[in-house]
Amino acid sequence: MGVLEQPAAPAPAPYLRIAAELRARIASGEIRAGEKVPSVRQIAQEWGIATATAGKVLSVLRAEGLVSAVPGVGTVVGTATGPPPGRPDGAPRTLTRDHIVRTAVALADVHGAAALSMRALAAELGVPPMALYRHVPGKGELVALMADAAFAECGLTGRAPAGWRGRLEAAARHQWALYRRHPWLAGAGLPPAAAGLMEWAMAPALRRGLEPAAVARTAAAVTGYVRGMAVSLADGPDAAALDAAFAFGLARLLDGLAVYVEQHTGGT
């Protein structure tokens, strides 16, 4: 039923997915030749994976010749012998909406929402500002496309929990991870892809017989909770403390929902 209910293709392993994301950042010019890619430690922290997995990410990119380890510095884009392959400098790929959106996401990720202007984005892409308007109606629509693209990143790799609670928790944690990765996202409005995620999340509860109105309210409450914690995160304060508060509050919210679901559905 839900758009995410039956993944069209098997989800890639996390390290491959993250490697693909870094590859996209390099391709979009967000990380340039000679600049450092995130360290193993940074990757592990940013995506919430083990350092061993993070190490595999960099191995993949090194094996491709896209990055190389520079002792005492870190892992940088390109090899000692020249710029990275795949996009010879000065050959500007034809501008597409997708490329614009991905570059905008990268720009906002790195420099913050305030730094995302149509003019700065155009400069990043090496095109005149007005060129963007042939692919995107305006900045508002661009931000909506960015949010949709971010939510469409499939990060639900493991098999989907069958129970309503496991499914809802997985969706909430996925949403949280997206907000951690894209600090501008919580302020961007919920895109259609977010509705898809919630549809996926609520499918077991719906099957269990929870009435549609309660399903809708549950989805709104959980989504709102995650988003509220994310905007608080964007305020600036201690991220670690909020991570703990997020997990705590989510557990309490799910506990409370469990009581309700018990009372309002057939049984186990």
Partner DNA sequence: ACCTGAACACCGTTCAAGT
Q: Which residues sit opposite 69 in a β-bridge?
A: 75
**C-beta of 149: minimal distance to DNA in Å?**
18
Binding of a second copy at residue 11 (CB under 8 A)? no
Residue 213: how many CB atoms within 10 A of its CB?
Answer: 8
Give start and end residues of each alpha helix (H) in the chain: 14-27, 40-47, 51-63, 97-111, 118-125, 139-152, 164-181, 192-208, 212-234, 239-264
Stretch that binds a second copy, among 70-78, 100-108, 120-128, 256-264 (CB under 8 A): 256-264
Burial of 8 (0-12, 13-18, 19+ CB in 10 A): exposed
Query: Could you say which of DNA, a second copy, none residue 186 binds, taking C-beta under 5 to 8 angstroms by partner kind?
Result: a second copy
Among 115, 260, 262, 264, binds a second copy (CB under 8 A): 260
Query: Distance between CA atoms of 133 and 5, rounded to whole angstroms?
Result: 35
Binding of a second copy at residue 141 (CB under 8 A)? no
H and E: helices and strands count for the chain: 10, 2
Among 133, 217, 255, 256, binds DNA (CB under 7 A): 133
Binding of a second copy at residue 256 (CB under 8 A)? yes
**C-beta of 238: minimal distance to a second copy in Å?**
10
Q: Are 99 and 28 in contact (CB under 8 A)?
A: yes
Query: Could you say which of DNA, a second copy, none residue 133 binds, taking C-beta under 5 to 8 angstroms by partner kind?
Result: DNA
Compare residues 153 and 243 and give the one whose CB is closer to a second copy. 243
Q: Which residues sit opposite 68 in a β-bridge?
A: 76
Stretch that binds a second copy, among 68-76, 89-97, 197-205, 211-219 (CB under 8 A): 211-219
**C-beta of 95: minimal distance to DNA in Å?**
8
